[in-house]
Amino acid sequence: MSPIGSVNPLAASALTRIDAPLPKPALTPTGPLTAAPADGFGNMLEGLVSTTLDKMEASKVATQKVLLGESENLHGAMIAMQESSIAFGLMVEVRNKLVESYQELMRMQV
């Protein structure tokens, strides 16, 4: 017997071969990909802007509380500031991509 151990022939036959084809999942027309979108593109952009504004307001309030001595949660204020900065940067990048896409569509010849 080897130091690793012996392989039981019955257990080895129960193992699936590595190169055996995998069963294909059933493709059904259910789920979120086939559902009608509940919100439009404009609502998504409005949500992005409102979320960014909420984060900026929370950052402003947290910073004011720390500066006025009402709170000692400096870490929370810094995290809120970074979250609002990242959200604003994302919103600007989305706007830039939208403008770039619009300009590309306008350059297309019909």
Which token pair is 82? 């970074």
- Please write the tens of the pLDDT for every residue from 47-82: 999 999 999 999 999 999 999 999 889 999 999 999
- Residue environment code for 39-74, b if the CB has 16+ CB neighbours within 10 A, otherwise e: eeeeeeeeeeeeebeebbebbeebbeebeeeeeeee
- Orientation angle between helical segments 41-67 and 74-107, nearest 10 degrees: 150
Q: In the chain, what percentage of residues exceed pLDDT 90?
A: 54
- Please write the tens of the pLDDT for every residue from 11-45: 555 555 556 565 665 555 554 445 555 678 888 88
Res 18: pLDDT: 56
Res 41: pLDDT: 82
Query: Which pTM value belongs to this model?
Result: 0.60
Burial class (CB in 10 A: 0-12, 13-18, 19+), 94: middle
